[in-house]
Amino acid sequence: METESLFKTPCKKDGAQRRSAGSLGTPMTIPASPFMQKLGCGTGVNVYLMNRIGKRTYSPWAIKKINSRCAATQKTVYQKRLCNEAEVLKGLQHPNIVGFRAFTKAKDGSHCLAMEYGGEQSLNDLIERRREEGLQAFPAATIEKVALHVAWGLQYLHKEKKLLHGDIKSCNVVIKGDFETIKICDVGVSLQLDENLKACDPNASYIGTEPWNPKEVLEGGVITEKADIFAFGLTLWEMMTLSVPHMEMLDLEDEELSFNEEDFDEDAYYERLGTRPALDVDSLGREYQRMVELFCLCTSEDPAQRPSAAQIVQALESNMAAN
């Protein structure tokens, strides 16, 4: 794998993107939801695949729309978040971040964010499939490849754009084919950083996703780019364990058993949040040593002890060059 070739992703905007990049309501035809394949869903939103066929075949788009079943008060919040994501995404251009295509309306009148179709599945989809097939951790080389590509994307966000992604996890990493491309998606809850890589607005809300949130978020501390690094470390942990951080009590040995909510130890769960989850290093083997060490560094409770995205990139690229 050569670093140079990985960055030869076409960055040229197509005609539709040039027409719609700065406006809302540009003449376009976005089908209603039932006429598109559903790719996935998030908090208050659904994502669909839009195949674009005209006089010639165009690359497909991923269309993000507000879930029509949301309450009216919730729709307002999610609409604001979708607008924010569109505005942020318009200013980003990197091969490891899903690209902006358009912000417009569908035939049913709903606002839509059209994005580059980054892949057939999320990393979380692959983790779930691997677990269902009774497999163990992803190969160490695959985890290292994902780590490098995501770190490239985070380095760009933090260093060049002064942005905190704010919700790094396996669900927000999309994969094409057999890890041919690896891209970060969903920048709807990103926060602007200052020159010291601290959140510009000290009162800004870090939303994230609870099991991936670091201690400083949970305890109202100073938010920096290192919050992304903690979540990045837990994403590597997901690939090594095929589990959700801090939800070990939900792993059932017998497939016929169902989870009983009364058995869930809520106090133990909240006590674990923001800490480094356990990892059975012996069962992984020596080939995982680098990824285990990186996971441990990234999930230090003290943000100052976590490496920057640039340091992670440097270490992984150096290792690639040595091999």
Question: Helix %, strand %, coil % for the chain, to 5?
Answer: 40, 15, 40
- Please choose, from the candidates 196, 259, 199, the residue with its C-alpha nearest in 3D space to the C-alpha of residue 223: 199
Residue count of the chain, please give it: 323
**Which contacts of 15-23 are long-range, i.e. CB under 8 A and separated by 24 or more positions?**
16/52, 16/58, 16/101, 16/102, 17/100, 17/101, 17/102, 20/101, 20/102, 20/103, 20/104, 20/114, 21/90, 21/100, 21/102, 22/90, 23/103
Q: If 0-12 CB within 10 Å is exposed, 13-18 middle and 19+ buried, where does residue 12 land?
A: exposed
Q: Is 265 one of the annotated active-site residues of the chain?
A: no
**Is 13 in a helix, a strand, or coil?**
coil
Residue tagged active-site, from 167, 186, 254, 263 = 167
Extended beta strands in the chain, E state:
37-42, 45-50, 61-66, 100-105, 111-116, 121-122, 163-164, 173-176, 181-184, 191-192
At CB < 8 A and 24+ separation, what contacts does 39-46 make?
40/122, 40/125, 40/171, 41/67, 42/171, 42/186, 43/78, 44/70, 44/74, 44/75, 44/77, 44/78, 44/81, 45/78, 45/82
Would you name the residues annotated as active-site residues? 167
